[in-house]
Amino acid sequence: MSKTGKSRAREKVDLLIFNTEELITLAGDNQKPRVGKQMRELGIIRNGGLAIKEGKIVAVGKTPDITKTYKAENMISANGKIVLPGFVDPHTHLVFAGSREDEFQMRVEGVYYMVILSSGGGILKTVRETRKASFEKLVDLSLKRLDVMLEHGTTTAEAKSGYGLTTRDELKILEVMKRLDQLHAVDIVPTFLGAHAIPPEFQNNPADYVKLVIEDMIPKTAEKGLAKYCDVFCERGVFNLEQTRRILVAGKNYGLKPKVHADEMSQLGSAELAAEIGAASAEHLLFSSDEGVKAMAKRGVIAVLLPVAAFSLMGGRYADARKMIDFGVPIALGTDFNPSCWVENQQLVIAFACHFMRLTPAEAITAVTINAAHAVDRANEIGSLEIGKKADVIVLDVPNHKFLGYRFGVNLVDKVVKNGRLVVDREKQSETVFLREPD
């Protein structure tokens, strides 16, 4: 109300979202990823609302305040539902050709993954198929996967190369990512992972492959501006600590921030290495030592944990997330979407993080939003619902946030708003698909 008692004209915006059971803002000091007890602070506004203009959030508050101040032609009432920042998936291997369902059966029957890999299967099978695939084919396959991610609430995804393993094919995959970022609503954060496996043609001289990665792939990737990060699969039989260090330092010298596939299947000390070189994140961490985890905490290295990937290994082992939280390591969660762990859905990741790693729903939500945004260095524009940030917003059809992890196996997404635009509306979809005239 103005001083004269007349109501002031309401400001016109593009979209209003209001009447939420819970508006989960994650608002706060977002200069650094959340650690310890901060991971439980979701900044919930009951009966909250958002005003959105030109793709950005312009107001956050209680519904009556928002609707009193703003008007819009497009309005979403989230009655009975909750509203969150779009999920950020900080670890995917999005671009590949082919599939590995036959190996899945072998793994079910007890064959260990590293045995499959050493006999030319696993990553190497996908490498053969991806090398053969054209640019257009890879774009096409990946767009469909991004559709599924978006339908499940992911609005930004990191994507790693690593199924090319020649300079030409690695650059092709990174170019595909650039094209996907232009074509699809989901934003892509590209990571160069030329050191994903030793390709067959270098099986007898892996040192030469490391040289190729350092002297040819990294400079060309950086020169073309195709990646933000450089990652290495540091594992027994793949790249050892010394090779990993050299590759990550070379990447760093070309402006590619380091990430590491660390301690996934054995303890090599890669968590310690991630801390030593100041990596942005260390990922997997099933076998990390206490010293490694403490070093990560000290250096502020984010732990990107991938519980569905651990599940798919069928080893019954998960990263010790509770210990990491106690030590003060910031945790983010990702799918590890890849041809041996075919999952696009961050809601399932939340469920597994709660069940197998004992994260609370609130901690898991922090790990797929603001902390995941930090893991891809975009926390200044996404990961929370705050004025000035991108309007990447999801509406979930549950009455409160504790349903995340608790109700699983179905898609809880009702709507997805990307850059202020409604891109998924499952409420409408289900009306058209399922409602029939009575007989």
- CA dist 345 and 332 (Å) reads 15
b vs e for 86-123, b when ≥16 Cβ sit within 10 Å of the residue's Cβ?
A: bbbbbbbbbbbbeebeebeeebeeeeebeebbeeebbb
217, amino acid identity? M
Nearest by Cα to 347 from 26, 87, 155, 91 = 87
Number of residues that bind Fe ion (CB under 5 A): 1
- Specify whether the backbone of 311 is left (phi greater than 0), alpha (psi in -120 to 50) or beta: alpha
> Could you tell me which stretch among 114-122, 207-215, 265-273, 333-341 binds Fe ion (CB under 5 A)?
333-341
Write out the binding residues for Fe ion, residues 242-281 only, by CB under 5 A: none
Question: Minimal distance in Å, beta carbon 93 to Fe ion?
Answer: 6
> Could you tell me which stretch among 16-24, 25-33, 329-337, 370-378 binds Fe ion (CB under 5 A)?
329-337
Question: Minimal distance in Å, beta carbon 233 to Fe ion?
Answer: 7
> Could you tell me which stretch among 164-172, 182-190, 334-342, 387-395 binds Fe ion (CB under 5 A)?
334-342
- 336 binding Fe ion? (CB under 5 A): yes
Q: What are 399's two structure tokens?
A: 């009455």
- CA dist 58 and 357 (Å) reads 37
- CA dist 87 and 99 (Å) reads 26
Question: Minimal distance in Å, beta carbon 297 to Fe ion?
Answer: 22
- CA dist 393 and 293 (Å) reads 33
| Residue closest to Fe ion (Cβ) | 336
The smaller minimum CB distance to Fe ion, of residues 336 and 414, is found at: 336
Question: Minimal distance in Å, beta carbon 160 to Fe ion?
Answer: 7
Q: Classify 421 as helix, strand or coil.
A: strand
Nearest by Cα to 353 from 393, 325, 376, 374 = 325
The smaller minimum CB distance to Fe ion, of residues 35 and 123, is found at: 123
> Could you tell me which stretch among 51-59, 274-282, 335-343, 362-370 binds Fe ion (CB under 5 A)?
335-343
> What mask, x for binding Fe ion by CB under 5 A, covers residues 141 to 180?
----------------------------------------
> What mask, x for binding Fe ion by CB under 5 A, covers residues 45 to 84?
----------------------------------------
Question: Minimal distance in Å, beta carbon 193 to Fe ion?
Answer: 8
Residues of this chain that bind Fe ion (CB under 5 A): 336
